[in-house]
Amino acid sequence: MSLRVRDLVFRYRAFELRVARLAFEKARLSAIVGPNGAGKTTLLKCLAGLLPVLSGTIDLDGRDMASLTEPERARRLAFVPQEHGASFNYSVLDFVLMGRTARLPLFAVPSAEDVRVAEEALAFVGFAAFASRPHFELSSGERRMVLIARALAQQTDLLVLDEPTTFLDPKHEAEVMDLARKLAAERQKTVLMTLHNLDMAVRYADVLVFMKNGGVVAQGRPGEILTEELLTGVYDLPMKLLRLEGRTFVLK
């Protein structure tokens, strides 16, 4: 599924977001990066349909996001927040089953097929053994993986993740990014996320979107757009690039 943005404008109090053109393609992992206050999460929530744009269009495979009902949008796009404050201590499997809501008629009970899809989603993220565990007993990193499993159970072609590695230790951070990379490469999903960790973004993303002051400064493949001048200009901090054994590292 492709997602295309044209002439998007969003305003909130003293902040204004303006994006003339953006495109995200199938089977690509795209990372939105930039300093705090650049508008990364605001843009992400506009793209997910969680914030109403003032003007412009967001197209999902040619359909204007504004024309979609909430159930229609949920069948096309899954949003993964940084954290989810569950009100009840569901089992992990029941929590993931909530991702099937968009596929069920009103008041319908999940079927055996819905359970199978949820179990398959847990297995894909490597958490099949967690199915019966209470959700409240999970660590932050484990909850993040279960959130992704719930999004997978929606069976959408587009996954939108808000800072999926925030507050995670290096091991869980790498696990989440490996999974996101796998979803794009193996499941052919369009994966879009915001990230603070530049090294992770450069290492895993097919496409980087740099933002500053509510606008997009650059978009493209890391090898094509990543320069020390771009980084220094976006972050107002002298930065260097180190290329070692086929990888690129950002030095501050």
User: What rounded mean pLDDT belongs to the chain?
Assistant: 92
Residue range 163-181: mean pLDDT, rounded: 91
Number of domains making up the chain: 1
Tell me the per-residue pLDDT of 126-147, one tens digit each, with 9 for 90 and over: 999 999 999 889 988 898 899 9
Rounded to whole angstroms, the Cα distance separating 28 from 26 reads 5
Share of the chain above pLDDT 90, in %: 75
pLDDT score of 247 = 87
| Contact call for residues 192 and 159 (beta carbons, < 8 A) | yes
pLDDT at 46 over 80: yes
Tell me the per-residue pLDDT of 74-113, one tens digit each, with 9 for 90 and over: 999 999 998 766 667 889 999 999 999 888 876 678 899 9
Q: How confident is the model at residue 155 (pLDDT cuts 50, 70, 90)?
A: very high
pLDDT at 62 over 90: no
Question: Is residue 215 classed as helix, strand or coil in its secondary structure?
Answer: strand
Hey, what are 89's tokens?
């201590």
- Write phi, then psi, for 64 (nearest 5 degrees): -70, 125
Range of the domain at 182: 3-251
Residue 203's CATH number: 3.40.50.300
- Looking up tokens 């107002």 gives 236
Q: How confident is the model at residue 245 (pLDDT cuts 50, 70, 90)?
A: confident
